[in-house]
Amino acid sequence: MATNRVLPRHRLGDTDVSVTAVGLGCAPIGGLFSPVDPAEATATVKAAWDGGIRHFDTAPHYGAGLSEERLGGALVGLPRDEAVISDKLGRVLVEHEGAWDLWAEPNGKASRFDFSYEAAFEAHRDSLDRLGLDRVEIGLIHDPDDHRDEALTGTYRAMAELRAEGRIGAIGVGMNSTDAAADMLTRADFDVALIAGRYTLLDQSALDRLYPTCIERGVSVIAAGVFNSGVLADPRPGATFNYTAVDSKLVDKALAIEAVCARHDVPLRAAAIQFPATHPAVASVIIGARTAAEVDDALAMSAHPIPAALWRDLKHAGLLAEEAPTP
């Protein structure tokens, strides 16, 4: 297990909130795809802490509160002032029997969208209860892609008040769609954008509009989904790309990228983790993990030496956008 490692921290926008260069995405410990033993979830969070990670991202949607509960339990006894928690608003939990969506541990609850002003305060209060904390440092509007007007007049207004009162340090959006995210950022005063799967070795669509908007408006990016939900960790038929079955052409492209990496003795996972961090808009890269071993591997890959020639070879082969910043 990695211990006593110090990770760089980067400030979000003009706020006083800073995040470690690598963060832990806590959707997997909420039972994403398959169940997670609660003890293993605790070990995962503690492995991240021992490895220097201090940013932990969760949401009510993740396992209908299980992720928040397990993260909060794992943080008990650790120095609270060192940790930065990002949580999400825009969904509330309702009664629901049986399995739902991608979550493998039914607990009698499910999440549903509610971007109203009142629901934002309800969601924030309930998240704090599940976490067992008196505050979170970052609040994000969760997946408002198809509800932008409602989210701005409701959830955003509530979050802006929480920020003004010092109850949340930084506010932003947590989304997948680059165009919808860019639209949100131009319509309100945000500090941060957590964007999943849109600035990776397979998808650099964030370069088109979103990342230039972030730089122009002083919005920091937290890059999530750097493996595109699996194919960049293990490129093979049957892998997933953004939570659906991967297309054969994308598998072929991932294998071609892996071959370039192999020529430079660099694991594909290392390039996948380190590439997003090279963009000047990116403050942190989020790695989802469900075991301590996965955390240790991600931290090792984030520090693996990568020669500049690897990035040049990827661009020369047409496997990476020419305009993508690289070291």
Query: Using CA atoms, how far apart are residues 246 and 235, in angstroms rounded to an integer?
Result: 9
Residue 247: CB atoms within 10 Å: 11
Number of H helices, E strands in the chain: 11, 14
Determine the distance from the C-alpha atom of residue 319 to the mean position of all C-alpha atoms in its chain, rounded to a whole number. 24
Give the burial string for 209-223 (b: 16+ CB within 10 Å, else e): bbbebbeeeebbbbb
Q: Are 194 and 224 in contact (CB under 8 A)?
A: yes
48 closest CA partner among 16, 15, 85: 85
Sort residue 257 into left (φ over 0), alpha (ψ -120 to 50) or beta.
alpha
110 beta partners: 94
Sort residue 54 into left (φ over 0), alpha (ψ -120 to 50) or beta.
alpha
SS3 50: helix
Which of 62, 156, 199, 211 is the catalytic position?
62
Q: Give 3-state DSSP helix, strand, coil % of the chain, rounded to 5.
A: 40, 20, 40
- Known active-site residue 62: yes
Positions marked catalytic: 62
